[in-house]
Amino acid sequence: MRERHLVAWRIGGEQGQGIDSTGEMLATVCNRLGYYIYGYRHFSSRIKGGHSNYKIRISTEPVLSTSSDTDVLVAIDQETIDRNHHELVPGSIVIADARFSPQLPEGCPARLLPVPLTQIAQDLGDAVMRNTVSLGVSAYLLGLPLQEFEKALQERFAKRPELAEKNVAVLRAGYEYAQEHLPRLEWTLAPGDGKARLIMMGNDAVALGAVAAGCRFCAAYPITPASEIMENMMAILPRFGGVVVQAEDEIAAISACIGAGFAGARALTATAGPGISLMQEAIGLAHAAEIPLVIVDTQRGGPSTGMPTKQEQSDLFAILFGSHGDTTRIALAPSTVEEAFYDTVTAFNLADKYQCPVFLVSDLSLALNKQTVEQLDLSRVTIDRGLLLTDEEIAAQAEEDGFRRYRITESGISPRPLPGQPKGQYLATGVEHNEFGKVSEDPRNRVAMMDKRWRKIPQDPRQMGLQGIKYSGPANPDVLLVGIGSTFGPIDDARKALSARGFSVGHAHVRVLAPLPVAELSELMAKATHVVVVEHNQQGQLLQLIEYKVGKALREQGVDLPMMHSVRKYDGTPFLPAEIVARAQEVIRYAEAS
């Protein structure tokens, strides 16, 4: 029997039928067996009803993207087959509930395996457990040990042992039915390495990173796909003496965080596009008053309510240029769940060091899709509170000519006190102010304070100790693929596929949106013949940003921009590696022929 090292499994049905929880169960068990997992959830914004499916890629090697093929499709209804049959490849199977008399479309290369999922579940307890029957069938066909599923079910229903017992019974019944009635597959899943790893989504990692960084205040308003960050913080933060506030809206949430940041607590708010819009005025206040906080934007399909449960990266301009007046920005862009953890820690350190709001730029795929993560290295977590004044330092300043909270310094960073320190009181305001914090519209003061706030943020991520670009590929590639956020996995897979076809391809992933790593990008782009920017929005926001900033830098060096191409997707679905390969080949061939 042939061993497979990568298998794509998908389950589909009506939203509210336990599709997510079934996928979660399989992902958990496979992770415990030492497989690498990438899970992609397709769901609508409705609480119940409408088609929903969950695809899990199970691999013996790291995997960071979804794919255009499916090997095992579990269909709870006919719509699942109708919607997903185009992904079925030769040798694939469809495990379908016999209840709805499933049919494969003509020409479909898969083998249909009708199984009485509902009947088995009804006979042993309740029809709603049909999904658990399908897990038993899947376990048999994939060659996975049933004991691990039983253990996972008992843990999941630990507070309701009678429910655990019923689920284990139907799981075994599904396994035994498959053993007795279904043919063995022509392939089997190669065994995992058994190593213990974590499995989580980006929202989990952000919450854990915030707690590890010393965040003790979170205020947010529920919004997809950010809500899990607040929910995780509610579960974790009280154990460490922290507070979580579910605010009445995003304006209240960020305002509360500004207050907490002023008081010295590390504060976080998490939202999505519409929430970022509501926060813009308060973001300006935090800049003017020089108060640290961290803002997470889990981008989704916009504008307005748009497609709240679908993938998009269309908030880049809002993050970089939103708000009012002249403000500088710091915006980190993790590309994997693991990076989301460490970048969150870094965001808090930067917020304290530069006394300003710091953005953590996520997107729906990164926020909600589960990935295997190596054990987190807490020794990498360091906490830098920036320039905090001691009581003695404040007293010494006060004896001179008064305490200057917003002292003009060469670096632009003014050492700060915390409320309650003797003689350290000052006015924190969004109105223009002088070094003491007193309102001032003096033209010379205005220029000095604007320049101070501008000067304190470096213009190159390397000056902040940040990796601006994550690069892989040859030193002098003909084609340079550029992306941001969750497109890392699909682009990386596309680079490998294009390289295998004879293209010289590099992959530069932007890890810091602001300040943009202009020097690093310039160096890479100057060596490439074609630059292909891959992003999830209609306007090509990342492409425009690069053309504006990197193009200017290259022109100043007397170097022309290489041929710029754009691969954009804004239909709500994540990139597939094959799509990037096809589009990259298309634009390169067109450019070379013209």
Residue pLDDT, tens place only, 533-582: 999 999 999 999 999 999 999 999 898 888 899 999 999 999 999 999 99
Residue 45 has pLDDT above 80, yes or no: no
pLDDT band at 587 (very low <50, low <70, confident <90, very high): confident
pLDDT digits (tens, 9 = 90+) for 446-500: 999 999 999 999 999 999 999 999 999 999 999 999 999 999 999 999 999 999 9
Token look-up 């670096």 returns 411
- Nearest of 74, 156, 183 to residue 118 by alpha carbon: 74
Measured at the CA of 53, the angle between CA 50 and CA 58, to 5 degrees, comes to 175
The number of beta carbons lying within 10 Å of the beta carbon of residue 312 is: 25
- The share of the chain scoring above pLDDT 70, in percent, equals 100
- CA-CA distance, 6 to 63, in Å (whole number)? 9
What does the pLDDT average to over 293-313? 96
What's residue 16's pLDDT? 84
Please give the pLDDT value at position 560. 86
Evaluate if residue 250 carries a pLDDT over 90. Answer: yes
Whether the predicted pLDDT of 211 surpasses 80: yes
Place of tokens 């004896």: 399
The residue among 591, 522, 593, 521 whose CA lies nearest residue 563 is: 591
Kindly report the pTM of this predicted structure: 0.95
Picking from 45-54, 350-359, 425-434, 538-547, which range would have the lowest pLDDT averaged per residue? 45-54
Residue reference for tokens 């060469």: 410
Task: Report the C-alpha gap between 368 and 302 in whole angstroms.
Answer: 17
pLDDT tier for residue 44 given thresholds of 50, 70 and 90 = confident
**Which is it for strands 198-200 and 371-373: parallel, antiparallel or unpaired?**
antiparallel
> In which band, very low, low, confident or very high, does the pLDDT at 1 lie, cut at 50, 70 and 90?
confident
Q: What is the mean pLDDT of residues 33-58?
A: 90
- Please write the tens of the pLDDT for every residue from 526-546: 999 899 999 999 999 999 999
CA distance 386 to 317: 28
Per-residue CA distances from 243 to 219, 234, 240 (Å): 8, 8, 9
Tokens of 41: 């959830």
Q: What is the pLDDT of residues 465-474, one digit of tens each?
A: 999 999 999 9
% the chain with pLDDT above 90: 90
- The model's pLDDT over 376-429, given as tens digits with 9 standing for 90+, comes to 999 999 999 999 999 999 999 988 888 999 999 999 999 999 999 999 999 999
Give the residue, 254 or 2, on which the prediction is more confident. Answer: 254
Written as six digits, the tokens of 144 are 């996975």
User: Mean pLDDT across the stretch 310-331?
Assistant: 95
pLDDT of residue 593: 73
Average pLDDT, the chain: 95
pLDDT band at 109 (very low <50, low <70, confident <90, very high): very high
Contact 563/483 with Cβ under 8 angstroms? no
- φ, ψ for residue 216 (rounded to 5)? -130, 10
What is the DSSP secondary structure assignment for residue 305, as one 8-state letter?
T
- CA dihedral sign, ordered 247, 250, 253, 259: negative
> CA 123, CA 173: separation in Å to the nearest integer?
10
